[in-house]
Amino acid sequence: MKELNIERKPTQKRILGLIGAALRVKWFQLFLIALVLGIIVYIINDGFLSRGNIRNLMRGMVVPGLMIVAVGPLLAGGGIDLAAAGQATLGSVFFANLMVFFPGMPWGVAAIITMVLGAVFGIINVFFVNKMNFSAFIVTIAMGMLYQGLTQAWTGFAEVPIWRDSLIELGRLSLFNEWVPVLFIVVLLIIAAYVFMMAKTKFGRSIYMTGGNEAATRLAGNNPKKVRAILFVNSGIMATLAGVAWSSQNRLAHPTSIITNAPNFTALTAVIIGGVSFRGGSGSLAAGFFGLVVVRLFENGLMMAGFRTYVNVAAQGVILIVALIGDHISVVRQRQALIKASMEIAVSKAKSQKP
């Protein structure tokens, strides 16, 4: 028996070590929070686990999920795009009108043309931020307002119906006995591709370097402005793709609905909860996705508990403030750790120089 106990101890330590390591990973922490939230919501209302509710929950993560890969990498790179919802709205209306004006055009071609428009949106931001050296925060707010105004002037505040059966079917289609929407699976694959890009590629590392330390980025042979330019273009493309996805789900384009729902702010909240610093240089889109799951579960719980819509909106604001406070505390701790480390290095050097 003693021999067995001796053999078990290293195994137990290894298991405990693995558990401890997992608990320090941000996305796993958020997964556990989401799991606890799900249990709480189920206790409040056992209809939470119904097929219809789960499908609607996933359906509601499609557009903000695409916004995560629009605004998340840019935020990690030290930039910000607050025009994403305006870009999605104008992109959605542009996409719908393409199919109205050109009835024979396949919706896939219309979606690609719309994403090219999104790239143009990104290039406009690049011009003002990189060439004119304007604040990205102010520029993107202004451009978002401009896109909103253009959309409303174009439509006269009227919705644009979509009558393409294949596109509508894509928005409705679900797999696994109609539990999981196809568009949700597509978004998961896109997020997974971006997670790989940011974690495993040279460009992904340059994003974090640009957000964390521009001087180090230049020393490493990268151009911070070029990195951010690519990220702004990516943000425009993914925002307009989110607009196309919204149109597919709702069978129309609308001049105000996307902006009112503010999926870009939901995405920003999710990625900040996921550890992407508002100042750039850190974070993971995988954790950002689980941050989105937490936000959506919280909203779903409030709805199933019978709270009104305005409570949900206020709760989103509270979650964002809490996320920003957490980000600020994290940044302060990092600075304190760097100061402490530099002081220790200075003291050790001083001791070594003594005769």
Count how many domains the chain has: 1
Strand spans (E) along the chain = 160-161, 174-175, 180-181, 252-253
Q: Is residue 9 part of a domain?
A: no
pLDDT tens figures, 180-190: 999 999 999 99
pLDDT digits (tens, 9 = 90+) for 123-138: 999 999 999 999 999 9
Residue 169 lies inside a defined structural domain of this protein: yes
196 pLDDT exceeds 80?
A: yes
pLDDT tens for 139-188 read 999 999 999 999 999 999 999 999 888 888 888 899 998 999 999 999 99
Residue 306: CATH number of its domain: 1.10.3470
Decide if 10 is inside a domain.
no
Per-residue pLDDT of 305-344, as tens digits, reads 877 777 777 877 887 787 778 777 776 776 676 566 666 6
pLDDT of residue 1: 44
Name residue 307's amino acid. F
- The whole-number pLDDT of residue 2 equals 47
Write out 273-305 in H/E/C secondary structure.
HCCCCCCCCCCCHHHHHHHHHHHHHHHHHHHHC
At residue 87 the predicted structure's pLDDT band, cuts being 50, 70 and 90, is: very high
Q: Is residue 271 part of a domain?
A: yes
In a domain, 2, yes or no: no
Asked if residue 12 belongs to a domain, the reply is: no
Look up the domain containing 43 and give its range: 26-353
Report the sign of the C-alpha dihedral through residues 264, 270, 272, 276, in that order. Answer: negative
pLDDT for position 294: 92
- Lowest mean pLDDT: which of 65-69, 206-210, 235-239, 241-245? 206-210
Q: What is the pLDDT of residues 39-68, one digit of tens each?
A: 999 998 889 999 999 999 999 999 999 999
Q: What is the pTM of this model?
A: 0.88
Mean pLDDT of the chain: 87
Q: Is residue 21 part of a domain?
A: no
Is residue 343 one of the residues assigned to a domain? yes
